[in-house]
Amino acid sequence: MKTIKRWGPPVLLLTPSMILMAVFVYGLIVANFATSATDNHTAAQATGVQPTVFVGIGNYLDLLASDAFQHSLKNLLLYTVVFLVGTMVIGFMWAWLLERPMRGEGIFRSVYLFPMAVSFIASGVVWRWLLNSNEGEQALGLNRLFQMVGLDFLQNPWWNNITWGIAAIALPAIWQLSGYVMALFLAGFRGVPVELREAGRMDGASEWQVYRHVIFPQLSPVALSALIIIGHMSLKAFDLIMSISKPSNYQTKVPAVDMYVFKSSFDYANSAAVGAILLIIVAVLVIPYLIYTNRKEVSGR
């Protein structure tokens, strides 16, 4: 009797979501691993006309051994690094500069932040133009701007470079999300208790020393959050690449694009395997973070 009264309602409210999560997150992850362990590479198999055979981790081994997929992984890594460093450095710098109240603060903040309200597809339209790889007379976009301001030497092929091209795709991403990181850090700065600062100053610390030894350490949880959020967003490179480059362009391939291309050509097994590899990468990063957060909350209670 009592148990039902205690347990019934919470279960009642939670159940719909728990079932949906169980099926659409965990169930599908399992199903995806199952598909990725078969030889489901053709249309006939995808549609169930011909049988599939269990091949274990064969697809993973093949993928990881192929030049093309290694190139995609390398691109993903480079993109993530540039994206992370760019947003963290710029976002932190803006937050630091705006930390103390000043004239025009609201305008700066709003302008820095607005790009994140825009979809990657929409911003990709502009960045496609800005990142046009023509140089010299035919130059458009940023290359043309560089010519106009006398910085000709900065002209470059942007994303049309086999090694560094993907870093150019990170530019729009930095443009969109630096403001977000700024907002996070700003909240962190403002969250530092006034007494701490004052105490530091009382001890005769210089302004820089107060920052260095009192305030910055307080920001590390914010920095960690920002790293996790931005790091996991780097998978969204998909939208930007689809909008700026094209899925078939080798120089800008990342696993998410490979996954899309495999799916379009009925190669479900490889498509699923690429998805699974992305999941594993994310899980390695996020699960420790979730456990850490969870522990901290429990101990904080």
Region 245-284 residues binding another protein, contact defined as CB under 8 A: 245-246, 248-251, 255-256, 259-261, 263-268, 271-272, 274-276, 278-279, 282
Question: What separation, in Å, do the N-terminal and C-terminal C-alpha atoms of the chain show?
Answer: 29
Nearer to another protein, 77 or 242 (CB): 242
- In angstroms, the CA 12 to CA 299 distance is 28
Q: Please name the residues in contact with 216: beta carbons below 8 A apart, sequence gap of 6 or more.
A: none
Please give the DSSP secondary-structure letter assigned to residue 252: G
Show the site string, 38-57: x = touches another protein by CB under 8 A, - = not. ---xxxx-xx-xx-------
Least distance between another protein and beta carbon 156 (Å): 11
Cβ–Cβ < 8 Å for 215, 197:
yes
Angle between helices 268-300 and 255-264 (to 10 degrees): 140
- In angstroms, the CA 224 to CA 172 distance is 22
Nearer to another protein, 170 or 276 (CB): 276
Q: Which region, judged by CB under 8 A, interacts with another protein, from 52-60, 79-87, 133-141? A: 133-141
Tell whether residue 114 is a contact of another protein (CB under 8 A): yes
Tell whether residue 216 is a contact of another protein (CB under 8 A): no
- One of 37, 82, 88, 98 touching another protein (CB under 8 A): 98
Q: Please name the residues in contact with 282: beta carbons below 8 A apart, sequence gap of 6 or more.
A: 232, 235
Least distance between another protein and beta carbon 204 (Å): 16
- One of 65, 150, 194, 284 touching another protein (CB under 8 A): 194
Tell whether residue 153 is a contact of another protein (CB under 8 A): no
**How many other CB atoms are there within 10 angstroms of residue 16's CB atom?**
9
Number of residues lying near another protein (CB under 8 A): 157
Tell whether residue 86 is a contact of another protein (CB under 8 A): no
Q: Which region, judged by CB under 8 A, interacts with another protein, from 54-62, 66-74, 81-89? A: 66-74
Give the 3-state DSSP-derived string for 58-100, with helices as H, strands as E and coil as C: HHHHHHHHCHHHHHHHHHHHHHHHHHHHHHHHHHHHHHHHHCC
- In angstroms, the CA 157 to CA 252 distance is 13
Tell whether residue 151 is a contact of another protein (CB under 8 A): no
Least distance between another protein and beta carbon 57 (Å): 16
Tell whether residue 74 is a contact of another protein (CB under 8 A): no
